[in-house]
Amino acid sequence: MKAGVIYTGSGPILILTTYHDFSDPKFIEKLTQKGITKFIAQEVNIDLCKEKYGVHYTVVKNDVKETDDLRILDYNGHHIFLTIPFSEMGEPFKYEGE
């Protein structure tokens, strides 16, 4: 399980995913299917997500199944910015569709 902030044209979302890397072509394809063709992704420590989101984290995590590889933990960009410090985010991965 991996967590990450995905910066999109409409604002950041915090996701949980079973993909091991944001550069995985299948991860990129999944975002493309959702209309996200250009993004910046930064990993967030999963333990921090557990701590900050508590029961909501558990509910969302338990909803991720082997065939369900991407879940949104938070879609409120303002809340994400208040909850997750930049110092707790990994190096950015940038993707710009063809």
Per-residue pLDDT of the chain (98 residues; tens, 9 = 90+): 899 999 999 999 999 999 999 999 999 999 999 899 999 999 999 999 999 999 999 988 887 565 568 899 999 999 999 999 999 999 999 999 87
The Cα–Cα gap between 85 and 25 comes to 28
The Cα–Cα gap between 89 and 47 comes to 12
Helix (H, G, I), strand (E, B) or coil at 56: helix
* pTM for this entry: 0.91
Helix (H, G, I), strand (E, B) or coil at 53: helix
